[in-house]
Amino acid sequence: MLEVTQIDQYYGSSHTLRRVSMNVQSGECMALLGRNGVGKTTLLRCLTGVLPVASGHIHFDGVDISKLPPHQRAALGIAYVPQGRDIFARLTVEENILMGMARFPASKARHIKEEVHELFPVLKTMLARRGGDLSGGQQQQLAIARALVAEPRLIILDEPTEGIQPSIIKDIGRVIQMLKARGNIAILLCEQYFDFAHELADRFVVLNRGEVVTQGTHADMGSEEVRRLLAV
């Protein structure tokens, strides 16, 4: 589904991504792991098109999307839940969710599906509240809901557990499990909370200083090597 081939990215003279290759298949959860500042968010931004790549290719469903702007990648079915969530603080919860449907014709983009309320019952009780008034955990759920209403075929989550209370982390884990069970969506989960990623991931890659330094299946994830690479 998503195929990343040897991409490089630079911030000025600093070489932030070095020949990064990886892929994510439909129906699986791929974990992107690595310490602070190794280039995880930079890689995700390159995938969504917010940042250009200097070289290399990104294919989605066989189509080279490396040069497409973000809205065209979104239209192909790539949704992004950014680190820090980026909720529209002054818009209501309902308006925030509807923003996720901006890629659909107006006739379709005005009604939140029941499914979203089932995945995030807490949001249903808060539709008229302003996004900025929600707790961090509720905002994270809102950001995921906003991404899902776009009916993505690939959802990219950047550290969804960062700064979130344990009960909501569990809720978010359940939502990701449910998405996996559907089997028709690819999930790229960037995480520093190892146990959370371990529970959900079918495969993983570890970045270090902009390079993929190791990768493997769920079974390899608890190895000494991986733990050493992630230890602070």
Ligand X SMILES: Nc1ncnc2c1ncn2[C@@H]1O[C@H](COP(=O)(O)OP(=O)(O)OP(=O)(O)O)[C@@H](O)[C@H]1O
CB 41 within 8 A of CB 50: no
16 binds Mg ion (CB under 5 A): no
38 binds ligand X (CB under 6 A): yes
**Number of neighbouring beta carbons within 10 Å of residue 55:** 13
Calpha distance 111→123 (Å, rounded):
15
Using alpha carbons, list the distances in angstroms from residue 204 to 99, 137, 146, 193. Answer: 31, 25, 25, 13
- Cβ closer to ligand X: 41 or 138? 41
5, 23, 83, 208: residue in contact with ligand X (rule CB under 6 A):
83
Calpha distance 15→27 (Å, rounded):
32
- Cβ closer to ligand X: 12 or 105? 12
CB 67 within 8 A of CB 49: no
- Cβ closer to ligand X: 104 or 193? 193
Binding mask 153-192 for ligand X (x = CB under 6 A): ---------------------------------------x
141 binds ligand X (CB under 6 A): no
41, 48, 66, 139: residue in contact with Mg ion (rule CB under 5 A):
41
Residue nearest to Mg ion (CB): 41
Instruction: State the residues that interact with ligand X by CB under 6 A.
Output: 11, 16, 34, 36-42, 83, 192
